[in-house]
Structure 1
Amino acid sequence: MSFLKEKYRKFKRVFKIIRSVNWIKTLYFNFKKLPFSEAKKLPFFFYGSVKFTNISGDFILEGPLKMGMIGFGLLFEKMTRQRGIAEINMQGKMLFKNHAHFGKDVIIYVSKNGYCEFGDMGCLGSNVKLICTNRVVIGNWTGIGYESQLIDTNSHPMMDTNTKTHFPIEGEIKIGDYNAISNRVTIMLNTKTPNNCVIASNSLCNKDYSSLGENILLGGIPAKLIRNNFARDWESEKEMLKKYKILQW
């Protein structure tokens, strides 16, 4: 009896995956952007509505290819409804070290000269906006909470009105491994974080925090050190996160 129950649960799980995948966008993207030997494994899965505004850039996969290893529009959060605003405008380069996961209604823009990198199990929550005109690197097992934004440019020329000198319009964002970034966090150009860093909700990050060391809590506008010896217990959650984010066939 237990054997039959397990088979039934597996069938329900696989059926749910098959039903929720946007197969038209999934097949189109994989076979358009990847060599046939890679595309046939369907490493990219798209769920729900997504607009391919521009996908002329390069998508590079470094990890062992697996079906659905990159999930875009995944339902791994408590919210289940979509607004249908997910969009990819990728003209530069995007590299995936292994598994990566994107929630609902994520918007990604990588300019022609931009480079964006996701470490293994890198994650963007729902309604996250990623704007990359220069360089954005997200570390292994780092999660960006819902309604956050990563922007590596000022978008407009800004100057010192006394000296008439202009500030750099672009910078680099480098987020360390095992960062837990809460919801509605804004990460601007020149932000760098150490490994094992937690960032509180509604914070603004705009400088290099890596000299503060690991296991820290940042927060505020602009963000500053709030507490040392503070970290998310990733080891206790890893198996649960894999269950919800990695396809289990």
Structure 2
Amino acid sequence: MIQNSYRKCRSFYHTLKFYWKVNWIKTLYFNFKKFPFATAKKLPVFFYGKVKFTSIYGEIQLDGKIQKGMIGFGQPYELNTVHKGIAEINILGKLIFKGKFQFGKDCFVFVGEHAVCELGNMASLASSGKIICTEKIVLGEYARFGSESQIIDTNFHDLIDTQTGEKLKKSAPITIGNYNFMSNRVSVLKGTQTPNFCTVASNSLCTKDYTSLGENILIGGVPAKLIRSNISRDWSGEKQQLDDFLTI
């Protein structure tokens, strides 16, 4: 009886502690501003800690079953526990969630006007990550990025060939395959494509199409190149743990 009471108290404490971390003002405002009432009342998007809404003018699309907290922005799922308070979202184009998605603490998300950013089910971007989408970015299912990683589909500035005068393409779509594991501080730049079951080493720079290398590969370096074939994160072993741990 005492043990049962202790478990109930402990469960209540952890639930209370969790909901204390939610930024309820931003959570309620965002959901009821961006979704029909029937969707908004389920609170599919949770915000944690301080976050700046530079703009949420663009379209937010939720595909699949709508669940409470299926999208977590600033979600406390990592080892670090403190927010710097610099999280910011600026959505002018279209942001599509294909299911559950987790943003870590202090992330920056920009989707430009006419741009489309599609985020796969159970994909994630860890703390201090950055997504800048001016044309198109697609992350597959379980495409998971470590802390301080950045996904940017543009050069920001026009470049020219000084011999021919040709203006080089400023932006190009990015497509990340299913079950990709990107370690910390990975930079993914315009035109990058990765196959399914691709692992990218820390501090790597991805700049091209890697799909011809096949699946179950490890790439890394600056710029990234093939390091090893026939290797993958143990997705089957971790999948249930991820589902349980990241579901509210």
Give the TM-score range, shorter chain: over 0.9
CA distance in 2: counterparts of 1:19 and 1:242, whole angstroms: 22
After superposition, where does 1:112-151 map in structure 2 within 5 Å?
112-151=113-152
What is the identity, as a one-letter code, of the residue corresponding to 2:16? F
**Matched position secondary structure for 2:30:** helix
Report the equivalent of 1:205: 206
CA distance in 1: counterparts of 2:202 and 2:241, whole angstroms: 23
The alpha-carbon deviation at position 5 of structure 1 amounts to 4.1
Q: Is 1:190 aligned with 2:191?
A: yes
Unaligned runs of 5+ in 1: none
CA distance in 2: counterparts of 1:218 and 1:200, whole angstroms: 6
Report the equivalent of 2:77: 76
The alpha-carbon deviation at position 46 of structure 1 amounts to 0.3
Deviations 1:146-185 (A, max 9, x none): 0011100010001111111111011000000000001001
Deviations 1:60-112 (A, max 9, x none): 00111111110000111111111100000000001111110000000000001
What is the identity, as a one-letter code, of the residue corresponding to 2:239? K
CA distance in 2: counterparts of 1:221 and 1:9, whole angstroms: 48
The alpha-carbon deviation at position 197 of structure 1 amounts to 0.3
Q: Is 1:33 aligned with 2:34?
A: yes
Report the equivalent of 1:219: 220
Report the equivalent of 1:98: 99
Deviations 1:192-230 (A, max 9, x none): 000000000010000000111100000011100110001
What is the identity, as a one-letter code, of the residue corresponding to 1:220? G
**Matched position secondary structure for 1:18:** helix
How many residue pairs are counted as aligned between the two chains?
Answer: 247
The TM-score normalised by the length of structure 1 is 0.97
CA distance in 1: counterparts of 2:159 and 2:18, whole angstroms: 47
After superposition, where does 1:6-25 map in structure 2 within 5 Å?
6-25=7-26
CA distance in 1: counterparts of 2:194 and 2:9, whole angstroms: 44
What is the identity, as a one-letter code, of the residue corresponding to 2:90? N
CA distance in 1: counterparts of 2:170 and 2:185, whole angstroms: 23
**Matched position secondary structure for 2:106:** coil
Unaligned runs of 5+ in 2: none
Report the equivalent of 1:158: 159
**Matched position secondary structure for 1:153:** coil
CA distance in 2: counterparts of 1:174 and 1:120, whole angstroms: 14
CA distance in 1: counterparts of 2:12 and 2:244, whole angstroms: 16
**Matched position secondary structure for 2:157:** coil
CA distance in 1: counterparts of 2:52 and 2:108, whole angstroms: 9
What is the identity, as a one-letter code, of the residue corresponding to 1:156? H
What is the identity, as a one-letter code, of the residue corresponding to 2:22? V
**Matched position secondary structure for 1:87:** strand
**Matched position secondary structure for 1:37:** helix
CA distance in 1: counterparts of 2:154 and 2:221, whole angstroms: 21
The alpha-carbon deviation at position 11 of structure 1 amounts to 1.4
CA distance in 2: counterparts of 1:135 and 1:35, whole angstroms: 26
What is the identity, as a one-letter code, of the residue corresponding to 1:98? G
Q: Is 1:176 aligned with 2:182?
A: no
**Matched position secondary structure for 1:162:** coil
Report the equivalent of 2:65: 64
What is the identity, as a one-letter code, of the residue corresponding to 1:226? I
After the TM superposition, which parts of structure 1 deviate over 3 Å for at least 4 consecutive aligned residues?
Answer: 1-6
CA distance in 2: counterparts of 1:185 and 1:66, whole angstroms: 30
**Matched position secondary structure for 2:242:** helix
RMSD: 1.0
What is the identity, as a one-letter code, of the residue corresponding to 2:225? K
CA distance in 2: counterparts of 1:201 and 1:29, whole angstroms: 34
**Matched position secondary structure for 2:160:** coil
The TM-score normalised by the length of structure 2 is 0.97
